Structure 1
Amino acid sequence: MKLHEHFKTFLDEHVNLNATRIEQLENSIEAVKTAVKESDWGAEILRFAPQGSWAHQTIIKPLPDKEFDADLLVFVKPKDGWTPKDYVNKLATALESNSTYKDKLRRYSHCVTIEYAGVRRIDIAPCVVDRQYQGQFEVCNRNAGESGTFEASAPTEYTQWVIDKNNIAGGNDLKKVTRLLKYMRDIKGNFTCPSFLFTTLLGYQVYDHDKDSAAFADLPTTLKTLVGRLDDWLQARPTVPMVRNPKLWSENQSSGWTETQYSNFRDKINLYRGWIDEAYDEEDRDESIGKWQRVFGDKFAVGEAKEAARVSESVAKAEGALVSRGYFSDLVERVKALGAQAVPAKLVKLPYVKRPKWRFAETRVTVNVSAELYASPGGSRIRQVASLAPLQPDQWIKFTAKSSMGVPFPPDYTVKWRVTNTDTAAYNAGELRGDFYDSDSGASRMEHLAFRGVHFVEAFVVRKSDNRLLGQSQPFYVVIE
């Protein structure tokens, strides 16, 4: 499902840089411009211009305790006798005399950075104009060689290319997709792709004939289209490809990628392409929310996801007198009276339940789960327990996964457990869970019986050698009175 309302809320509340930070950034930028113009730098300033994510409107909210950065280009006339190193070093020296910035300055290869600790960074990069011929733009790499090196640049043209691609996609959806994927990159932290390279790769997936096409009908569709095209492009290139700056053909933006980094990026985009397609195509709303959360994390549709856990209330609304008029007080009483037929089909599709992240193996195995009741983790066994059997709280239950032959899985397999609580008591305690957990020993895991409700536990068998999923059990329902 497309879930337009949740995409909008997710962008507004969790992805986009909030208005307060944007205002603070803009105020800081104006102050920096003034400081540079009033300094004794010595270069003749022509103008300033935003660069990078700030200029492209793809800047995103940083992770907690992280800074966001903005790039500011300062275009200057060439200075007789100055080397590339001079443009950067003399700018840093000039700003060091300013009491506001002297303790915030850092020098990097191409820029002087002002660091507002834990908040934001502003990178000020000199760009020399018309040094050898009219229309030439060069940034200054102070670390290349003894005196540094002038490097060709096309900042204004590249920014316009991004704007043009966004206009073809329509609805500012290219910018929004770029923000979404940068957010995904940051929260997952398992692949490397600099923002400028990500922006170029996505821009290349928008073609002139895409204007007003169904492939870009709305934001979720644009996301599906772009990631699908990017995956196809990457899969056709098993080694690091050359990704040229579309407005400066001599610049290979992928030059910083190692083969290992590229291979990992290629693999992850292929994986996430599958997840996005599944979430988009899923017709069940709860299941779709859960699958979009697998892509973007728990903050996507977080309110609706958690509210769905109050299953007694939702069953009452759906089935009227069966619960709400006192025939059954809640889902526990209903299941005790009616057995398996009383378990709502939606229970195992609750949106906060984490979806499996492993790729499936080519072969599958049957996984069965048995359970035993204990008074305490180290105590003696009380009895065998069946799925849906009513149990008292403050006891312990030991789950064990076995093959269809009733024997443990070999040591080259590992068993992961998805443990999900439901209903009001767990909801109020903030203990809905729904995540994956390791076995305690072998293929077994012990859990404490705590909250009234109909909960469930599932076993997932994963092959260690390639991290592939071979099979999962049916839900084992735990009914706590």
Structure 2
Amino acid sequence: MTARVREFNFFLRDYVNLNSTRTKTLHSRVTAVNTFLTDHSDLGDVLGGDVVPQGSFAHKTIIRPHSGNDFDADVLVPMVEQDGWEPKHYTQALHKALQSSARYRDKAMLGKRCVKLDYAGDFHIDLVPFVTRDDGNTYITHRTRNEFIRQDPVAYTAWFEDNNRTTHGHLVRVVRLIKYLRDRSSVQVPSVVLSALLAERVRSFAGMNDYVNVAATLTSLVKALHEYVDPMSMPPWVDDRIGQNLADRLTQSGFENLKSQLKTWSKLMTEALEANADESVEKWRKLFGESFGTSIREASEGVALTASATSYYEKSPAPGEQDIQKDHGIRIALDPKQRVRVVGRMSPNRKGIGRYRPLGGSGNHVPLGRSLRFSIEGCTVAKPFDVYWKVRNAGEEAASRNMFRGEIRKRGEQITESSNFYGQHWVEAWIVKDGVALATDTQDVTILPN
């Protein structure tokens, strides 16, 4: 197997991923509108907490727009059911509040299920009223039909995040790569359906090498999806995690095109992954085009490139970051039968009032100034054991403030931190028994800017 880790890292960075400037701009806009809504006097008794990223925004699968198109980000606006309000009133109240602001008046457009904030020529944010009703269930609203629609995007995001962890974070990159291929083909499949179909193929009992890197995960999941849908004559049922079918928005012709492309993609991926080192780049180019591997070629020709193309994409080691083997003398012998989950939870608002909610339901996005708790859950290693924790700060702000962190310390089964500055961060735990690390897990934390 030829993984081509560096080539995939650079290809994602330079051609697929939304660049860091646009990502930070999106994060800043979401933070700003969250602050505006939270502080708005007319919404004080209506809002149920901070806005919650959903869809490709929450899953971190937004990609660079194709052919100059803009991109969109969906955000849930939690709202408490109001006596005497019909479904349409929630969207109307949200729109009225935004219309009262000089900042948002010209950007806010009333839609059927949302209020759209259009940042012309770049992206738009869809603000979706998300109502918890007296029956304890959650709903979005349809303004023109004046009805509640039963949905639980938070549960779906938590499920997607759990599957992403099983693939060591590679599921997100696979979805981005497949969306890149989709946008350059005849396939017309909604992103949510495509993402769910791929996530459903993730297996916790998969082979040790199935999810070892981006190339292996991509090939494994696409091959599994091809084998799953190929015998079907109709689109499959795709569960939205509350028993409803996401694939009802997939047309028959779209499904047939997807089946055809999956057959081609799976064949090309398998050939490229199994090719020897001298041939693999050219074989991957049959799939992704001539841009694949060009950044590596530029590097060899003397063009300076950043350190983002490391063996651990998006988790590059920081100066002084500790290693559990080298710095603590603990042997790593991960046992596939032993598992653990690090579950992060954050305070619900700036005042810290209310129940802490799991990070997974918001795609691990956290506003500044929140209290964070990280706990060991579902650990199958028999007690007694020790827990070693690493809290890792990353990103431009961590670098500018020289606050990378990355020390490893033996602590209890729960630790407390706070969201102090913008960037991609993560918390890692190792379960150590008799001096041997048997299980580990990582909780990502994306802290939004002011």
TM range (shorter): 0.5 to 0.7
Deviations 1:125-155 (A, max 9, x none): 01111x1323x111111233xxx21111112
The aligned residue for residue 166 of structure 1 is 164
**How far has the Cα of 1:37 moved from its partner?**
2.7
CA distance in 2, matches of 1:306, 1:155: 42
How many Å apart are 1:22 and its aligned residue? 1.6
Letter of the aligned partner of 2:281 in structure 1? I
Residues 406-437 of structure 1, C-alpha deviations (whole Å, 9 max, x = no match): xxxxxxxxxxxxxxxxxxxxxxxxxxxxxxxx
**Matches of 1:126 and 1:278 in 2, distance apart?**
46
Superposed, which structure 2 residues align to 1:446-465 within 5 Å?
none
Structure 2 SS opposite 1:70: strand
Residue pairs, 1:47-86, within 5 angstroms: 47=49, 48-86=51-89
Residue 90 (structure 1) aligns with? 93
Aligned-pair CA distance for 1:82: 1.4
DSSP 3-state at the match of 2:129: strand
Q: Is the 8 A contact 2:114 2:126 kept in 1?
A: yes
The AA in structure 2 aligned to 1:159 is T
The C-alpha deviation readout for 1:140-189, integer Å capped at 9, x for no partner, is: 11233xxx21111112211111111111112x111111111111212x14
Shift of 1:295: 1.4
Question: Once the two structures are superposed, what CA deviation does each residue of 1:79-135 show, in whole Å capped at 9, x if it has no partner?
Answer: 112111111123113212211112222222211111111111111101111x1323x
Structure 2 unaligned spans of 5+: 301-450
- 1:28 to partner: Cα distance: 0.6
Runs of 4+ in 1 over 3 A off after TM superposition: 38-43, 303-308
In the other structure, the counterpart of 2:119 is 116
Match of 2:176 in 1: 179
User: Against the structure 1 CA distance between its residues 189 and 98, is the aligned structure 2 distance closer, same or farther, given a 3 Å change threshold?
Assistant: farther
Report the identity percentage. Answer: 31
1:276 aligns with 2:269: yes
Q: Relative to structure 1, is the Cα distance of residues 90 and 20 closer, same or farther in structure 2, using a 3 angstrom cutoff?
A: same
Deviations 1:318-371 (A, max 9, x none): xxxxxxxxxxxxxxxxxxxxxxxxxxxxxxxxxxxxxxxxxxxxxxxxxxxxxx
Query: Does residue 217 in structure 1 map to residue 220 in structure 2?
Result: no
**1:294 matched to which residue of 2?**
286
Contact preservation (8 Å) 1:105, 1:115: yes
TM-score computed with the length of structure 1 as normaliser: 0.59
Unaligned runs of 5+ in 1: 309-481
Aligned match for 1:198, one of 171, 194, 200: 194
What letter corresponds to residue 259 of structure 1 in structure 2?
A: Q
Greater relative contact order (CA < 8 Å, ≥ 6 in sequence): 2
1:192-250 CA deviation, whole Å, 9 max, x = no partner? 1111111110111012212x7222222111111000000001102121222121x211x
Q: Check the 8 A contact 2:10/2:295 in 1, yes or no.
A: no
Summarize the Cα distance change of 1:93–1:225 in structure 2 as closer, same or farther, 3 Å threshold.
same
Q: Is the 8 A contact 1:39 1:95 kept in 2?
A: no
Superimposed CA distance per residue, residues 27-65 of structure 1 (whole angstroms, 9 cap, x where no aligned partner): 111111122234465461111211111211222222242
Match in the other structure for 1:248: 242
Equivalence map 1:422-461=2 (5 Å)? none
Normalised by the size of structure 2, how large is the TM-score?
0.63
Shift of 1:298: 2.6
Q: CA RMSD in A?
A: 2.1
Partners of 1:239 and 1:259 within 8 A in 2: yes
> Which whole-Å CA distance do the structure 2 matches of 1:206 and 1:303 have between them?
30
Where does residue 392 of structure 1 map in the other structure?
none
Query: Structure 2: how far apart are the matches of 1:58 and 1:114?
Result: 20
